Structure 1
Amino acid sequence: MKTDQVFEQLCSGCHGKDLSGGQGGSLIDGEWKHGSSDDELLKSIKEGNAQLGMTPFKTILDDRQIRSLVIFIREKEKQAKEKGMTFPKPEPGKVTKTEHESYKIEMVVEEGLKNPWAIAFLPDGRKLVTEKAGRLRIIEADGKLNPEPVKGTPQIIDHGQGGLMEVAVHPDYEKNGWIYLGFADGTREGRDVKTITAYVRGKLKDGEWVEQQQIWKADSKFYTGAGVHFGTRIVFDKGYIYFPVGERGGNMEAQDVENAKGKIYRLFEDGRVPEDNPKFEGKTPVPGLWTYGHRNPQGLDIDPRDGSIYDTEHGPRGGDELNWIQPGHNYGWPVITYGMNYDGTPITGKTAEEGMDQPLTYWQPSIATCGLSFYRGDKFPKWKNDLFAGALAQQEIRRLRIVDHKVTEQEIVLKNIGRVRDVTDAPDGFIYVILNGPDRIVRLVPAE
């Protein structure tokens, strides 16, 4: 049974169909008599309260159903809270004020792109943009979008959520010229599609993609017809590259270190596997495996202060996560999660398990995380080293301050100008944002 139906049958008589209260108190006004944490709310549902006449539901509902009720209540609580709130919705030319900085929004590319996904910056002032259908585009140094896509890029499969996704420029590009791509690789024969995320590198020469080298490609047995959870981003660090591969809807396959899906990888920049990658007793991990138990990571970046790596990943409904990525660690999907299925049915009653890492923060309701970047520039000094996370469904950018691997601040700095596909700091010190619906690129510049 779906969670909204469970609530209707068991809870709405006391708390109202809209959760605003009745014989029992409101569940959406932010006031809780017996504790406001998820665990305390779960305990109240499970154990009830004889003095207040609240029924204990532990004999009627299992842990999975109770956990899903908590998620459902949190969703409704947030929706009610946001009804009277205003968020920074920037408009070109106008100043938008946030907690620490004020900015203006400038248009970079207003038209000519279709489903742009990621942006990267070349030292000569040009910018590279991927389009989901398979095109790699160039924004020239004068700011104009070249109407011709780069020729000769790898064959990709535009399928479901996957296509040409990531583009990343090597830190020593001026010396070696390497550009990296992450995309849905596979085959299509009529309606029969088999794909998984793959990574290559190549060079640009006179508008053509040349000298391509394979960086990572899964064994053919891991290719699947599923259209979801490709996962992609690339970060560089001291001769290594890190990148995710989503679990492709495979759920428990994310827990199998011998399965390619639901993992983050570390390789040398040329695709070789480092000897000191994590070992797993009695197992032969997929070459390059760094961490496992991931669902659909679409944000990845490295803290410029200490080299720590963080990811954001799409959870199910109510379970998007920010994680600190550490070698050999298990991030729990789908054994533990703070979410439920999109249709409102439960996944698990567990949010914690020994040997599985907790997220630094999670989002209920889901924000549909996408794009992640630490701010390294000097144009916004009060944002220095803050982490910026994009969101598709909620159409927003979150600023997070990380201190000792803990989130100490979280603020919405932009909202409701489009689905945020990518957000990244740039060499010019500004923050660039790729938007879908409408498809365009903007940047945040200081108000002064």
Structure 2
Amino acid sequence: MKSLTAFLLLPLSLFAEDTPDYSEMKVDKLFETLCSGCHGKDLSGGQGGSLIDGEWKHGATEAEIRKSIAEGNPQLGMTPFSTVLDDNQIRSLVIYIREKEKEALAKGIDFPKPEPGKVTQTAHEDYTIETVADDGLKLPWALAFLPDGRKLVTERGGQLRIIGADGKLDPQPVKGTPEVIAHGQGGLLEVAVHPGYESNGWVYLAFSDGWWEKGAGKEGKDGKKADKPQTITAVVRGRIKDHEWVDQEWIWKTDKPFYTDAGVHFGTRIVFNKGYVYFIVGERGGMMESQDLNNPKGKIYRLFDDGREPEDNPFVGTEGAIKGIWTYGHRNPQGLDIDPRDGSIYSTEHGPRGGDELNWIRKGLNYGWPVITYGMNYNGTPITGITEKEGMEQPVTYWVPSIATCGLDFYTGDRFPEWKNDLFAGALAQKEVRRLRIKDHKVVEEEVILKDLGRVRDVTDGPDGYLYVILNDPDSILRLAPAE
């Protein structure tokens, strides 16, 4: 039996003048110093019981765990830690305990790891895996389908590749695609085919646009300063003719002052709906810039599919605000799709350490980053002590520990009828695909259907009704087919 009220009452010396500076401690050190004496260094128990067995005596919600830590229960021997820790540090302890609990519980679960030639069973559908491409790709990022049976694949290094209708990967990339500044997490990212492709031929690309500043970087051993990149996410459209990118038009790019040398958080994904194009620009490590409507970072945009700004966008009348913004307060969303049943838009967003989110994207709303979050810094220090605030949206669901969400797709095919309209989310860190059933904008069912084949970069259903998965490490594209 587990209870956070089972901490031993700490000795008075803990509150003396020689008390350690807890404000400088990372969360693992905080736990070791304050909690491990009763609950063990591995959280598996002692005088205070286990914190990782999934059994909670005094409440398992985030708020209840936080209250137990903050207020304690002297009658049961637990110190009120609010006397030595601030709200942010207490929040970090909650995240840390949740991380360890989920990791321990996952060890007892037999997740499906598909093997070629074998049937993989899941709750509603059984499938086999087939290899679409596993040779010649380097860091594939996104996949899109052309009406003639060909497939388009982006490589983060800057190449747009074609898989022929015969299933063979063309050894030569498409010529003339826009110049990409590939550094950090940036590169050639999203590819999307316009719904009216058969009549207009438009293909959309999202990528890290920018330039290299000569001699603005760090000094090397030779005494010369390296060049420094300046980038941000941009979107173009063009056509592919005779294996060449032509007719390029800019859909969206920002002004040079907003470009940055940061190597993180580019976003992005693209979806179309009723003549509009929606896309993501990550906050590029700028954190509070995502809250600034005058700043392009950390936003989801809505434009006409030719790049014009709709007059009914939410901030058109706000002084100084960027007119294309649809929602704000985002960190690094890398999943975006539309529910075919009602047109609702959903996005998956990378949190920091903990706090990956699935969000229901609605006009003009603020999704809170970094004012509220269910995560903490990667080094175990707190970001904020609050997870909700008036005027800021709560996620539909969130994941602690982080699964590193990437790629998102509502299944609309017929080959897996029991998966119809379910949402599939890829996960880089956890190397998995999760199936989520959405009802009334809530997750009513969640299941891991694939795990440990590689880092899942994208997941999407094709016009043939199969489910496709892009992997990194190893770089490959797989297809899930119904088991006979």
Instruction: Tell me how far apart the structure 2 counterparts of residues 280 and 145 of structure 1 sit (CA, whole Å).
Output: 44
- Aligned partner of 2:15 in structure 1 is none
Say if 1:41 and 1:348 are closer, same or farther in 2 by CA, change over 3 A. Answer: same
Instruction: Tell me how far apart the structure 2 counterparts of residues 394 and 25 of structure 1 sit (CA, whole Å).
Output: 28
Instruction: Tell me how far apart the structure 1 counterparts of residues 357 and 173 of structure 2 sit (CA, whole Å).
Output: 34
The match for 1:259 among 295, 314, 329 is 295
- Aligned partner of 2:410 in structure 1 is 374
Aligned-pair distance for 1:280? 7.0
Asked if structure 2 preserves the Cα contact closer than 8 Å seen for 1:401 and 1:409, the reply is: yes
Amino acid at match of 1:422: D
- Aligned partner of 1:425 in structure 2 is 461
Instruction: Tell me how far apart the structure 2 counterparts of residues 59 and 5 of structure 1 sit (CA, whole Å).
Output: 18
Instruction: Tell me how far apart the structure 2 counterparts of residues 280 and 42 of structure 1 sit (CA, whole Å).
Output: 41
The match for 1:46 among 70, 75, 80 is 70
- Aligned partner of 2:192 in structure 1 is 168
Instruction: Tell me how far apart the structure 2 counterparts of residues 152 and 419 of structure 1 sit (CA, whole Å).
Output: 29
Tell me the alpha carbon deviations over residues 153-185 of structure 1, each in whole angstroms, 9 at most, x when there is no partner. Answer: 000100100100000000110000000000000
Instruction: Tell me how far apart the structure 1 counterparts of residues 184 and 141 of structure 2 sit (CA, whole Å).
Output: 14
Instruction: Tell me how far apart the structure 1 counterparts of residues 85 and 459 of structure 2 sit (CA, whole Å).
Output: 41
Q: Secondary structure at the match of 1:29?
A: coil
Q: Secondary structure at the match of 1:145?
A: coil
How does 1:31-430 map onto structure 2 within 5 Å?
31-189=55-213, 190-279=226-315, 283-430=319-466
Tell me the alpha carbon deviations over residues 189-219 of structure 1, each in whole angstroms, 9 at most, x when there is no partner. Answer: 3421100000000000000000000000011
Asked if structure 2 preserves the Cα contact closer than 8 Å seen for 1:257 and 1:283, the reply is: no
- Aligned partner of 2:6 in structure 1 is none
- Aligned partner of 1:16 in structure 2 is 40
Aligned-pair distance for 1:34? 0.3
Q: Secondary structure at the match of 2:74?
A: coil
Amino acid at match of 1:420: V
Amino acid at match of 2:384: T
Say if 1:151 and 1:280 are closer, same or farther in 2 by CA, change over 3 A. Answer: closer
Aligned-pair distance for 1:282? 5.1
Tell me the alpha carbon deviations over residues 352-410 of structure 1, each in whole angstroms, 9 at most, x when there is no partner. Answer: 00000000000000000000000000000000000000000000001000101111011
Amino acid at match of 1:94: K
Aligned-pair distance for 1:281? 6.6
Instruction: Tell me how far apart the structure 2 counterparts of residues 2 and 413 of structure 1 sit (CA, whole Å).
Output: 35
- Aligned partner of 2:17 in structure 1 is none
Tell me the alpha carbon deviations over residues 80-119 of structure 1, each in whole angstroms, 9 at most, x when there is no partner. Answer: 1122221000011110000010000000001100000000
Instruction: Tell me how far apart the structure 2 counterparts of residues 282 and 406 of structure 1 sit (CA, whole Å).
Output: 32
Amino acid at match of 1:428: D
Amino acid at match of 1:28: I
Aligned-pair distance for 1:51? 1.9
Amino acid at match of 2:266: F
Amino acid at match of 2:168: K
Amino acid at match of 2:302: R
Q: Secondary structure at the match of 2:83?
A: coil
Instruction: Tell me how far apart the structure 2 counterparts of residues 47 and 9 of structure 1 sit (CA, whole Å).
Output: 18
Instruction: Tell me how far apart the structure 2 counterparts of residues 116 and 12 of structure 1 sit (CA, whole Å).
Output: 43
Q: Secondary structure at the match of 2:93?
A: helix
Asked if structure 1 preserves the Cα contact closer than 8 Å seen for 2:185 and 2:265, the reply is: yes
Asked if structure 1 preserves the Cα contact closer than 8 Å seen for 2:409 and 2:424, the reply is: yes
Aligned residue-pair number: 448
Asked if structure 1 preserves the Cα contact closer than 8 Å seen for 2:316 and 2:323, the reply is: no
Asked if structure 1 preserves the Cα contact closer than 8 Å seen for 2:434 and 2:447, the reply is: yes
Asked if structure 1 preserves the Cα contact closer than 8 Å seen for 2:435 and 2:449, the reply is: yes
Instruction: Tell me how far apart the structure 1 counterparts of residues 423 and 108 of structure 2 sit (CA, whole Å).
Output: 27
Instruction: Tell me how far apart the structure 2 counterparts of residues 168 and 118 of structure 1 sit (CA, whole Å).
Output: 9
Tell me the alpha carbon deviations over residues 271-328 of structure 1, each in whole angstroms, 9 at most, x when there is no partner. Answer: 0000000027753211310000000010000000000000001000011000000010
Instruction: Tell me how far apart the structure 2 counterparts of residues 312 and 412 of structure 1 sit (CA, whole Å).
Output: 16
Instruction: Tell me how far apart the structure 2 counterparts of residues 191 and 70 of structure 1 sit (CA, whole Å).
Output: 42
Instruction: Tell me how far apart the structure 2 counterparts of residues 322 and 91 of structure 1 sit (CA, whole Å).
Output: 29
Task: Among all aligned residue pairs of Structure 1 and Structure 2, give the percentage whose two residues are the same amino acid.
Answer: 74
Tell me the alpha carbon deviations over residues 206-258 of structure 1, each in whole angstroms, 9 at most, x when there is no partner. Answer: 00000000000011111000000000100000100000100000000000011
Amino acid at match of 1:42: R
Amino acid at match of 1:84: G
Q: TM-score, normalised by structure 2?
A: 0.92
2:479 equivalent to 1:443: yes
Q: Secondary structure at the match of 2:301?
A: strand
Task: Say which is worse superposed, 256-265 or 48-57, in terms of deviation.
Answer: 48-57
Aligned-pair distance for 1:188? 1.2
Instruction: Tell me how far apart the structure 2 counterparts of residues 33 and 50 of structure 1 sit (CA, whole Å).
Output: 16
Tell me the alpha carbon deviations over residues 315-356 of structure 1, each in whole angstroms, 9 at most, x when there is no partner. Answer: 000110000000100000000000000010000001000000
Tell me the alpha carbon deviations over residues 393-439 of structure 1, each in whole angstroms, 9 at most, x when there is no partner. Answer: 00000100010111101100000000000000110000000000010
Q: TM-score, normalised by structure 1?
A: 0.99
Q: Secondary structure at the match of 1:221?
A: helix
Instruction: Tell me how far apart the structure 1 counterparts of residues 256 and 204 of structure 2 sit (CA, whole Å).
Output: 22
Say if 1:56 and 1:281 are closer, same or farther in 2 by CA, change over 3 A. Answer: farther
Amino acid at match of 1:35: G
Instruction: Tell me how far apart the structure 2 counterparts of residues 171 and 93 of structure 1 sit (CA, whole Å).
Output: 35
Aligned-pair distance for 1:49? 1.1
